[in-house]
Amino acid sequence: MSEVKSVPRTEASADAVKRESPGGSFLRQRLQQSLAFGTLIVLLAFFSLASGNFFTWTNISGILLSTAVIGILAFGTTLVIITSGIDLSIGTGMTLCSVVTGLLLVNLQLPLFIGVLGGIATGALMGLINGLNVSILKLPPFIATLAMMLIAQGLALVLSGVRPIYFSKVQGFKDIALGQLIPGLPNAVLILVLTGIAAYLVLGKTLLGRYIFAIGSNEEATKISGVNTGKWKILVYTVAGIFTGVAGVVIAARLDSAQPQLGSGYELQAIAAVIIGGTSLLGGRGSVLGTLIGALIMSVLINGLRIMSVQTEWQTVVVGIVILVAVFTDSLRRRREA
């Protein structure tokens, strides 16, 4: 497994450094991504050979379904991390969004679309507050979003009365995640793909995306180039909040309930997916596709280990090790550049 990924990387990246050719870093970035991609293929091949139950449509579709929530969260976080920020509030924030959706649909019995929009708006509002705290109050993103993580956790418990809210009486809610607009494919996976495309377009084709990279690359320079970096940072956190809101609705629909105790820990898994996908915590580098691959690696790993009857506790240990390896290869690459 290690042979497959290490051989092409060292040769090509050393070459790129030597020549200092334009596009060398482009190449390196692609390599980090293809390294992640290669790892994913190797994992798929390994588990397919190890267990006959792995490479079946039901199982693959299950993997995709379990990737949906982490993936959507990770897309939003990718945007924030490329600015060299961080968002720790996405896990419990997602829970708060699903609780709000529950209150609107179950307790207030409002129409479905209002419940969905309410959940997403809650995410956007949290993101906006994160953005304001980072930009206006100049709090470090780690602190600002850590505080928001606790606030969201507390509010979710308070609003729900520490009890799950069940959507069983809400017509069609479950279908948001589990229905199949495309036969055989749960809608949650469709939403994952659509949010991925949205994040990709934002990052690659819009002004916001350009400034996300610029801020992560050199915030001071971006500012004195006449870009209102504060405003754009507020927008980045708000957009990330929208992704959190969507994830909140999807997880509520998938579980057919809003679970106020859930959510803590999701932020770390999402951040792990972003990092495995080659986005640099130092900012300025990253991609949506990489994040998707990162999220898939984690789901495949957990699913595969489960199929091979590895205990849940040990699955967690393996995921931890994967994160270590991913971050280590990233820092190795950076050291090489220095």
Partner 1 sequence: MLPAVVQIHEYRPQGTSVISEEVGETVGEPLLKVEGISKSFPGVQALSDVHFDVNKGEVIALVGENGAGKSSLMKILSGIYQKDAGTIYLEGVPVQIDGPRHAQELGIIIVHQEMNLMSHLTVAQNIYIGREPRRLGGLLLDEKKLNRQTAELLGRLGIKEFAPTDLVENLTVAKQQMVEIAKALSFDAKVVIMDEPTSALTTSETETLFRLIGDLRDRGVGVIYISHRMEELKRITDRITILRDGKYIATMDTATASQHEVIKLMVGREIDENARPENVRRDNVDDVVLRVENLSTRKLLKDVSFELRRGEILGFSGLMGAGRTELARAIIGADRMTEGRIFVNGKEVKIGQPADAVKHGIGYLSEDRKSLGLLLDRDVNTNILLSSLGNYTNPVGFMKAGSGKGTSQKYIDSLRIKTPSMFATTKNLSGGNQQKVVIAKWLARDCDILIFDEPTRGIDIGAKEEIYRLLNDLVARGKSIIMISSELPEVLRLSHRIMVMAGGRITGEIDSDGADQAKIMDYATRVEQQGAEK
Residues near partner 1, by CB under 8 A? 17, 20-26, 201, 205-207, 209-210, 213-214, 216-218, 220-228, 284-285, 335-338
Query: What is the smallest separation between the CB atom of 181 and partner 1, expressed in angstroms?
Result: 26
Query: What is the smallest separation between the CB atom of 313 and partner 1, expressed in angstroms?
Result: 37
CB 322 within 8 A of CB 298: yes
Residue 131 or 216: which CB sits closer to partner 1?
A: 216
E strand or H helix that includes residue 166: strand 165-166
What are φ and ψ of residue 270, in 5° steps?
A: -65, -45
The amino acid occupying position 320 is G
In degrees to the nearest 10, what's the CA dihedral of 16, 18, 22, 24?
Answer: 20
What are φ and ψ of residue 137, in 5° steps?
A: -80, -10
Q: Which of 93, 119, 91, 75 is closest to 236 using CA atoms? A: 75
Residue 210 or 256: which CB sits closer to partner 1?
A: 210
Residues 6+ apart with CB under 8 A from 21: none
Query: What is the smallest separation between the CB atom of 32 and partner 1, expressed in angstroms?
Result: 14
Q: Which residues pair with residue 33 across a beta bridge?
A: none
Residue 167 or 211: which CB sits closer to partner 1?
A: 211
Q: Which residue has the tokens 């509010």?
A: 155
Query: What is the smallest separation between the CB atom of 225 and partner 1, expressed in angstroms?
Result: 5
Residue 16 or 258: which CB sits closer to partner 1?
A: 16
Query: What is the smallest separation between the CB atom of 231 and partner 1, expressed in angstroms?
Result: 12
Residue 22 or 52: which CB sits closer to partner 1?
A: 22
